[in-house]
Structures are given as C-alpha cells and as structure tokens.
C-alpha cells in the first residue's frame, strides 16, 4: 500500500472508480501508484498512523505479551452472500489474534492486484475492509500494493497481519486441553463453506445461506472475562471443526468424543452437504470458534456465549478424553461410534 514516502497530492486527474481498471502503472511506484493509494486506500483506511505514509507504521507499544498473526486470502468468488474477500481478510486475521485471548490492536494489509481488475470492485473490497476494521476498532496502519500481469491471479489476493496483546494471567493455547474438559462451539457449523460452494455451483435451496464471516473479538473478550482460565480457543476455518479438533488433540496428547445430536448445523447446510457429498464437520467457518474449558466452567461459559449475538447458537458438543492415540471420535445419533479423522485432501478449495 505504501508509496515509499510521504504522499504528495498533486494529480492531473482523479481515479475513475466507476469505469476504470487496474493498470500495470498502478504498481510502478510512481504518480499513478501514489494516486491509487491516496484516493482509494488512504481515503478508506485513514488514521493517524497510516497517514504518515512511511514504509512502516510507528505506533505505541504494549506492556505484556504480544501476539502476531498473518494470513493470505485467495477466495473465489471474491464476492459472496454475507461478505467479500475484504471483510473476510480483516475478520479472519482479527480472529486468529484473539484465539489467544489477546486484545487486537493493529492490522497491516498487502494487496496483489491483477491488471485489468475493475476499480469499482476494488473499491467495494476496500470499503468492506474499512467497515470491518472500524467496526472492530482495529486500524489498518500500514500495507503494500503490487500489480501483476493479466491472468496472473484471480483479480486480487490480500494478505493481512494483525498484532495484539494478551492480558496478564491469560494462558490460552492449543496444548492445554485436558481429559474431562468440555468442548463448545459458538454457533452453527459449515455456513461459510457451503455458502461459497452453492454460489460456485449456482445451486439454490429453500433459504439463502450466507457466510458467517465476523470478527469475534468482542465475544472472546466476554468469554475471557467470565472464565479467565479457558484452556483452548480455535477458529475452525479450512478443514472445519474436525480438522481443528484433530490438531488440538495431537497438540495436547488427548482424545475427544463428540456427540452428533448436539452439533448445531442449519438444515440447509445439512441438505447441501448431503447433496454435494460433503461432511459438515470438515466445512469451513469464518465467524465461529471452538472453546475447551474445565467441566466445572462449561455451563457458565455457555451462558456467557448465549448472551452475545455471535454466540446465540452456542452448544456443548463433546468432551476431552484420555487416549494415547489422540483419536477424535463421534457418537452418532444411533449410538454407534466413528472416528472423525484428519481430512484427506481438500473438500472445498479456495474458500478463504
């Protein structure tokens, strides 16, 4: 995003944000690139740190442990029910930061733009990023922009990096799950991945499915305030709940038992998964979290989640067990048990 120095606002013309397109000159480091940064990115993301327009952001430091996370977003299609690649890139990185119990503070954003990409679409994406960042009160303070030749990428790729601070006394980590712990999810599973797949395949069901993309910082803050000793938090994105739980089980050297009749899954998601031959446990979410806590804290944590709009459908879905093999299993509605194994291959590529 940066132009390598202080911005100069003397242009012969304005960007045509209705009919214009990205050109190679917009990545050249010259007047056109500075024009793009000033009139599009800075106009949307404006804040005291970004306004300095240096090659780095200078911001107040933290007292305590810092958290940093970075993620690249390559979703196709770029626009989908409930959001677009812009809101997804902000929400996703904020969520990665707060899964440590941290308070998110700052974001950086890097764009790879394809020659010929419509400026009107780029503005929609940038505006969605600005709205998401402002809504979470996490400013985008620095970034970068590159332009590649036509057909070199799918219009736009976005990499976002977030930093935050973990409050004193919080020690949430994926290696903290213990036998007897309860496993909770904050809401319905698979909404994002199925919304994307239905759009790709031009399929319609009796109700409109939307991506669940959302920033979870406020929900997490409430949860940590209620139960400071939450053991694990994780957002089940690529690979869904099943993959996330397998990762946690191996990191904590435990097993897990899920209960199928307690999984919160929307009926249209179930129907779409049956039609497409997918398992909703492996389908991505972009606005949900997994929480693992001591059994005596589970009911209080669940009640806290229910009080928040992003946790209204929260549920206790299983428990942690001793298991030297670190298997994740599920008790089905019929009383039988099956292994919920690692995902083999990729059910839904390019979903985030």
Looking up residue 279, the CATH number of its domain turns out to be 3.90.650.10
Cα–Cα distance, 351 to 329 (Å, whole number): 26
Cα–Cα distance, 297 to 223 (Å, whole number): 11
Indicate whether 151 and 49 sit together in one domain.
Answer: yes
Residues of the domain holding 139: 24-165
Cα–Cα distance, 321 to 342 (Å, whole number): 18
Indicate whether 158 and 186 sit together in one domain.
Answer: no
pLDDT surpasses 80 at 322: yes
Asked if 189 and 281 count as a contact pair (C-beta separation under 8 A), the reply is: yes
Asked if 183 and 189 count as a contact pair (C-beta separation under 8 A), the reply is: no
Residue ending a domain, among 139, 165, 191, is: 165
173 SS3 class: coil
Domain harbouring 33, CATH code = 3.30.1330.10
CA 124 to chain centre: 19
Which of 139, 164, 140 shows the shortest CA–CA distance to 2?
140
Residue ending a domain, among 138, 165, 192, is: 165
Q: How many domains does the chain have?
A: 2
Indicate whether 62 and 90 sit together in one domain.
Answer: yes
Indicate whether 233 and 331 sit together in one domain.
Answer: yes
Residue ending a domain, among 113, 133, 165, is: 165
Q: What is the pLDDT of residues 143-202, one digit of tens each?
A: 999 999 999 999 999 999 999 999 999 999 999 999 999 999 999 999 999 999 988 887
Q: What is the pLDDT of residues 244-270, one digit of tens each?
A: 999 999 999 999 999 999 999 999 999
- In the chain, pLDDT over 70 holds for what percent of residues? 94
Residue 175 lies in a domain: no
Please calculate the CA angle 150-151-156 and round it to the nearest 5 degrees.
85
């Amino acid at each position: 995003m940066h132009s390598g120095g202080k911005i100069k606002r003397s242009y012969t013309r304005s960007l045509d944000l209705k009919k214009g397109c990205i050109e190679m000159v917009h990545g050249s480091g010259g007047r056109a690139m500075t024009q793009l940064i000033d009139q599009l990115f800075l106009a949307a993301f404006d804040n005291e740190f970004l306004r300095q327009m240096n090659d780095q952001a200078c911001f107040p430091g933290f007292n305590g442990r810092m958290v940093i996370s970075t993620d690249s977003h390559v979703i196709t299609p770029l626009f989908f029910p409930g959001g677009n690649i812009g809101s997804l890139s902000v929400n996703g990185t904020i969520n990665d930061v707060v899964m440590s119990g941290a308070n998110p503070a700052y974001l950086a954003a890097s764009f790879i733009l394809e020659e010929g990409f419509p400026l009107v679409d780029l503005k929609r994406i940038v505006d969605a990023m600005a709205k998401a960042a402002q809504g979470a009160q996490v400013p985008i303070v620095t970034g970068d922009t590159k332009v590649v030749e036509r057909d070199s990428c799918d219009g736009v790729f976005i990499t976002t990096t977030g930093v935050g601070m973990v409050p004193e006394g919080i020690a949430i980590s994926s290696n903290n799950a213990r036998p007897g712990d309860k496993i909770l999810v904050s809401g319905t599973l698979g909404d994002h991945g199925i919304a994307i797949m239905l759009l790709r395949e031009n399929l319609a069901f009796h109700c409109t499915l939307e991506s669940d993309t959302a920033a979870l910082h406020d929900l997490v803050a409430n949860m940590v305030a209620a139960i400071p000793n939450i053991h694990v938090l994780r957002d089940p994105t690529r690979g869904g709940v099943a993959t996330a739980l397998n990762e946690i089980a191996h990191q904590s050297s435990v097993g897990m038992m899920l209960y199928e009749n307690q999984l919160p899954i929307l009926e249209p998601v179930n129907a779409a998964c049956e039609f497409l031959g997918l398992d909703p446990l492996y389908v991505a979410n972009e606005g949900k979290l997994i929480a693992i806590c001591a059994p005596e804290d589970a009911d209080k944590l669940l009640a806290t989640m229910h009080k928040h709009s992003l946790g209204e459908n929260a549920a206790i879905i299983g428990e942690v067990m001793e298991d030297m093999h670190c298997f994740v299993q599920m008790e089905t509605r019929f009383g039988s048990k099956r292994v919920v194994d690692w995902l083999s291959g990729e059910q839904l590529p390019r979903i985030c």
